[in-house]
Structure 1
Amino acid sequence: MHAEILFENGWVYTGNDAGPIRANLAIADGRIIAVGSPEAVNGTAAPDTRRVDLDGQLLVPGFQDAHIHPIFAGVEMLQCDLTEATTAEEAVAKVARYAVQNPGQPWILGAGWSMDLFPGGTPTRDLLDAVVQDRPVYLQNRDHHGAWANTAAFAAAGISRDTPDPAGGRFEREPDGTPAGTVHEGAMDLFNEAKPALPYNLAYQGLLASQELLLSQGITAWQDAWVPIPEGDHADNLKVYMDAANAGDLKVRVTACQWWDRTAGLSQLEAIVERRDTVRDSFNPLVLSANTVKVMVDGVAENFTAAMHHVYLDHHGHHTDNRGIEFFETGELKEFVTAIDASGMQLHFHALGDRAVTDALDALQTARDANGANDHRHHLAHLQVVRSEDTARFAELGAAANVQALWACHEDQLDTLTLPFLEPGAEARHYPFGELAAAGARLVAGSDWPVSTADPLAAIHVAVNRTAPGEDLPPLGPESQKLSLKQILDAYTQGTAWINHMEAETGTLEPGKLADLAVLDVNLFDLPQQELHKAVVTQTWIGGECVYDRAAARRNQHTAVMQ
C-alpha cells in the first residue's frame, strides 16, 4: 500500500518506546501504515504522496481527555463568561457589560468565576444587585459546585429566608437567614424550574465552539462526563452529539457519559440502557458511544462538601462536626453500582474526598462479588485526597485513576479555601498520582474543562513539576507524587484510549492504528521540565485528516482582522 501522507524530518513518540525516536510515519486510508527509519518508511511513498515536513517537531498520539464537559463549556463561552476575571471587581464589571449588551435575555446566565476572588469564596447578591436589578442573574462558579445569584433570581425561584437547606446542599445566609448570594451543591437545583431551559440550537453551537478550541489543543477524543436525560424543554445533549455525528460536524471521537440522577433511583437505569443501545445500534463506537454512567459520590473540598474520613476544621483550626456530603447512602450506592455493572456499563465516579474514594471502591467490590470480574473499565475521577490503604485497591479491582493533573499544585483556591481546613498532613495526601502509579493503578487523564483549562500540555507540566506553569511556589506534596513525562503523556493518550475501549485503534502510533495525531512545535523530552508548558500544538489530525493547523488558523485570523 502506498502512503497518501508521509511525515518526515522530525521526532515521533509512538507510546511504545521510552521516548521519541527520529522517524518517519506514513498514512493511507486514514490509518498508519509504517513508522520507523526514513529508509524503511520512504519506500511506501509514491509520486503523489503528500509530504509533511515536521522540521524537527514532535509527532505524538492525539490527546484524549477522560473527563470533560464540552457542550456545557461551549454554552458558557457563548453566555456570560467569567473565566478570565482576575478580581471580584472585574467579574462584576463583566456581568454589567454582558447585561447591557444582551438586553433581551430574560436571565443573565453564565459561569466561570473563581472562588478565591471573594472573601471565603462566597460572593454576595448585593454585588450583582448593584449592576443588574431588572432581571435574575445566576452564575455558576468555576468548579460548578456552587452558584452566585442576585436578589431577583432568588425571588424568581421562590427562595427566601424560610427556605430550608435541601438535602445535599446549602445556602450561604445573612444573619436573619436570608440567602446571601452563594448556593452550594443541591441548593443549585432549586433554581431549575425558574431558569430558562437550555435551547437545542445553543447546545449544538456550544459543541461546535468547544470542538474548535479542543482541536487546537491536540485533543482527538474525549469522554463527556455529564450527558443527562433531559428534563422539561432542555436540550438533549446526547441527541446533539448524534445529530452532529450524522451531519458530519463531529470530528472527535466521543464517549458520552450518561448522568446518574441522584433523586431518580434505580428505575432510571432502564432509560439509560435504552439510550446506550440506541447509540450502539446507530454509530460506530469509534465515532460515538454512550456505554458509561457518571455517578457523583461527593462534592468539593473548597466548600466543605467533599466527603472526608476526617472532619473539616473551622477558621480557628478547631474540629467541626462536618465530614462533607455523600450524595448516597452506602447501601444505595452499592445497590445501583452493582446493577449498572450487571447491565454491562462502565462506571465513572466523581470521588474527590478520601471517604468518597473508599465508598466508590467498596461499591465496586460489592459489584465484583455479585457479578464477577469483567472488562467494563470503571474509573474514579479527581482523587484529591486518597488514603494510603485505598491506593492498592485500584489495581486489585481493575479500577483506573482518572487524574486532573492541572490541580496538583499550590494555588490560591487550594491554599486559602481548602488546606487550612483539613487535618494536619493533608497536603501530602493530595492528588497522590505517584503513589497510585507505584501501586499499579492504571492512570488516565482529563481536564474537567471548563472547571480549568483543557490544555493537556499545561496539565502535563503540573504532573511532572507539581507547580503551576510560571509559578515559583514550592511543589505540592512530596517528590514521590510527581509523575514522569512518559507516565502523564501515556495517561493522556493510550490511558484514556483504554478507558474508552479504543486502545486497539488509537492511543499509540503503530501500523494498523487510526492516524489520530498531534504535532508539537518542540520535542517535549528535550525541554527543561520547568518549560513543558511552553510547547504548542501546531497540527491535529484525526483519521488521517488535518482538522487543525495553527499556521492556517493564524493566517485566517490575520485576514479577518484586516477585513
Structure 2
Amino acid sequence: MTTTDALLVSDGVVQAVGDRAREHAADEQIDLEGGFLMPSFGDGHAHPLYGGLESAGPAVRPCSSVDEIVAAVKAYAAAHPEQEWIVGASYDGSLASGGLFDARWLDAAVADRPVVLRAWDYHTMWVNSVALQRAGITADTPEPVLGEIPRRDDGSPLGTLREWGATDLVAAVMPVRDEAVRVAALGTAADYYLARGVTWVQDAWVEPADVDTYLAAAIQGALRMRFNLAFYADPRYFDSQVTHYADAMARVRAAGSPLLTAQTVKFFADGVVENETGALLEPYCSGLHNHGMQLWEGDSLAEAARRVDDLGLQIHIHAIGDAAVRQALDAVEYVVRHNGPRDRRPVIAHAQLVDDADIGRFAELGVIPNMQPLWAQMDALMTVLTIPRLGQKRSDQQYRMRTLENSGAALAFGSDWPVSSGAPLDGIAIAVSRRTAAGEPAGGWTPEEILPLEPALASYTAAVAYQAFAEEDWGRIAPGASADLVWLERDPRTVSPLDLPAVGVRATYLQGRPVYSAAK
C-alpha cells in the first residue's frame, strides 16, 4: 500500500496525489486531523434488501436465548396489532439443540397470527403453528424437493423449515411487503453501510420483485450508494428464469442510474454446514450416507452457467462444502471450455471447505473466491453447530484464505450481511488474527491461514473492485479514479487486530461527496 500525504479531488475524481496535489489551489481543504484516508470498502457478497427489512420486524438479532426471542416477538406483535403476519430475522440458530426450533415456542408469544422468523443463515425458517396451517404443512406433507421439514416423533412438523423447497411453502402464502417499506429498507441498508465506509455492495440474491424495488429507489434518488444486482437462479425454474435475465438487465441499464448495475447471476450449489445441507465429499459425522444437499443434479449447474455466460453475465456461485466447491469449479471449467476465453471473472462465494486438489483451480480458471473473514473464528456457531458436524480434522481445513491467496487466486471479501456484520473492519480483524473478540485462541485458530493486514485491506477494496469489473473506476486512490473514500480515525496498520473493530469511521465519500459524516 503506497502512502501519500495530499490528495486533490475535482468533479468527484482524483486529480493528483502528493506533491502534484499540493501544486493546485483548492476551493476547500480538509485536514484529516491525524486520521487515515483510504479507498472506501466494497462488499462482494451481501443481501442489503433483506438487511434493511430486518428493522421492519421484531428485533430478534440481539437475542441470546429462545426466551428472549419469544419475548421480543410477543412485544412486537402487541405493538403492531394491524400486521396480519409477524415477519422478522435473524435469530441465532445455535440457541436450540441441533438448530431445531419448535412452533409451540412461538405459539406462546402469538397464537392468532402467523409468525415467520428467518435464521441468521437465511436458509432456515422458524414458524408458529398458524404459519404452518396457512402454508398447508402437516404430517402428511411430503418432503419437498430441495428442502427439509424436520418433524416430531408423531410425524407432525416441528416448526423449523430448511432450504427453499421448504421455506418457499410459507413464502408463497405470505403477503407482499409494501413497496414503500422495501424502498425504505434500501435506505436503511445504505445508512448502515455508509457509516461503515462501504460504498459498493453486491446484492447476491435478487428476484424479479427486487429488481422493481431497486428501480423504484433509483427513480426516487433513494439509492445513495453503488449496488450491483445478481439475479437468482433456481434449479427448479431456471429454464423460465433465464429468458428474463436479459430483459431485467436492460431495464436496469435503461434507468441510467450511475449507482445501479445488473451484470451477475447467483447460483446456489448447496446449503450450509450448520443444518447439514452443505454438500461434502465425505459424509457428515451424523451419518455414513449424509453428504448434504447438492442443489443442481449432474451437469445441470455447468449447463446453466454456460447459458448465463452466453448472455455475457457474470457467474456467482454459493458453495459452502468441498463437494459444492468442486461442482462450481467444474461448472466454470465447462463454461471456459465450451465458450472460450474471455474476461468473465466468475465468483465462488464462501468456499468454507476446499479440497486440496481444488485449491490451484481458482487461479487456473480465473475464479474469484469471495470469502467472509468474520466466519473464520471459534465462536459459538463454530463450536456448537459446525465442528460437531464436520469433526475436528475437517473443521481445521475451513476458510483457507491465506492458502488461496498464496495460490494466486484473486481473493475478495464480503460480509453476507445481514447473516453477519457488514462492517469490514470486523471481518478484517478476524482475517488478520483468526481470534474471537475475546482474543481466543491466543495464537489464532488455524494460524497458518492468518492474512497480513495489507492484503486483507486490499481484499475488501481493490479486490472487490476487480470482482465488480470496476478496478479502473474505484477501489484505489490514483489519478482518474472516482473519489470513493473512507476517512478512518486511525491508521489501521498501527492498530492491534483485536482493536480494529473500534477504529471509527469519520466520513465516507462517494464520487467526492460526503455521504456519511460522524458527529463530532
TM-score by length of 1: 0.90
1:24 equivalent to 2:29? Answer no
How many residues get paired? 519
Task: Find the aligned partners of 2:152 and 2:429 in 1 and give their Cα distance.
Answer: 42
1:157 equivalent to 2:135? Answer yes
Structure 2 equivalent of residue 305 of structure 1: 277
1:291 equivalent to 2:291? Answer no
Task: Find the aligned partners of 1:289 and 1:352 in 2 and give their Cα distance.
Answer: 26
1:396 equivalent to 2:396? Answer no
> After superposition, what is the alpha-carbon deviation per residue over 1:451-504, rounded to whole angstroms, capped at 9, x for unaligned?
011000000000000112234335664322111111111011111111111111
Which consecutive unaligned segments of at least 5 residues does structure 1 have?
Answer: 1-14, 230-235, 553-563
Structure 2 equivalent of residue 259 of structure 1: 232
Structure 1: which amino acid aligns with 2:71? Answer: A
User: How far did 1:164 drift?
Assistant: 1.4
Q: Which runs of 4+ in 1 moved over 3 A?
A: 473-477
1:239 equivalent to 2:212? Answer yes
* Secondary structure in structure 1 of the residue aligned to 2:190: helix
1:510 equivalent to 2:498? Answer no
- Which of 234, 243, 255 aligns to 1:270? It is 243
Structure 2 equivalent of residue 43 of structure 1: 23
State how 1:457-472 maps to structure 2 within 5 Å: 457-472=425-440
Task: Find the aligned partners of 2:369 and 2:403 in 1 and give their Cα distance.
Answer: 11
> After superposition, what is the alpha-carbon deviation per residue over 1:516-554, rounded to whole angstroms, capped at 9, x for unaligned?
0001111111112332222111100000100100026xx
Task: Find the aligned partners of 1:257 and 1:265 in 2 and give their Cα distance.
Answer: 14
Moved more, 185-194 or 101-110: 185-194
- Which of 293, 303, 316 aligns to 1:325? It is 293
1:371 equivalent to 2:339? Answer yes
On the 8 A contact 2:44/2:464 being kept in 1, the answer is: yes
Structure 2 equivalent of residue 58 of structure 1: 36
On the 8 A contact 1:445/1:496 being kept in 2, the answer is: yes
User: How far did 1:100 drift?
Assistant: 0.4
Which consecutive unaligned segments of at least 5 residues does structure 2 have?
Answer: none
Structure 1 equivalent of residue 313 of structure 2: 345
Task: Find the aligned partners of 1:475 and 1:196 in 2 and give their Cα distance.
Answer: 50
Structure 1: which amino acid aligns with 2:25? Answer: A
> After superposition, what is the alpha-carbon deviation per residue over 1:333-377, rounded to whole angstroms, capped at 9, x for unaligned?
111111111221101110000000000000111111100111121
Change (3 A) 1:475 1:134: farther
- Which of 170, 179, 183 aligns to 2:161? It is 183
1:218 equivalent to 2:197? Answer yes
On the 8 A contact 1:406/1:468 being kept in 2, the answer is: no
Task: Find the aligned partners of 2:218 and 2:80 in 1 and give their Cα distance.
Answer: 31
Structure 2 equivalent of residue 12 of structure 1: none
User: How far did 1:330 drift?
Assistant: 2.7
On the 8 A contact 2:219/2:255 being kept in 1, the answer is: no
Task: Find the aligned partners of 2:496 and 2:431 in 1 and give their Cα distance.
Answer: 14
On the 8 A contact 2:435/2:445 being kept in 1, the answer is: no
> After superposition, what is the alpha-carbon deviation per residue over 1:129-155, rounded to whole angstroms, capped at 9, x for unaligned?
111101111100011110111111111
On the 8 A contact 1:458/1:469 being kept in 2, the answer is: no
Structure 1: which amino acid aligns with 2:115? Answer: V
On the 8 A contact 2:439/2:498 being kept in 1, the answer is: no
Structure 1: which amino acid aligns with 2:376? Answer: A
CA RMSD between the two structures:
1.4
On the 8 A contact 1:524/1:535 being kept in 2, the answer is: yes
Change (3 A) 1:187 1:272: same
> After superposition, what is the alpha-carbon deviation per residue over 1:270-293, rounded to whole angstroms, capped at 9, x for unaligned?
201111122234426x52111100
Task: Find the aligned partners of 2:59 and 2:150 in 1 and give their Cα distance.
Answer: 23
Counting aligned pairs with the same residue, the percent is 35
On the 8 A contact 1:310/1:423 being kept in 2, the answer is: no
Structure 1 equivalent of residue 93 of structure 2: 115
* Secondary structure in structure 2 of the residue aligned to 1:309: coil
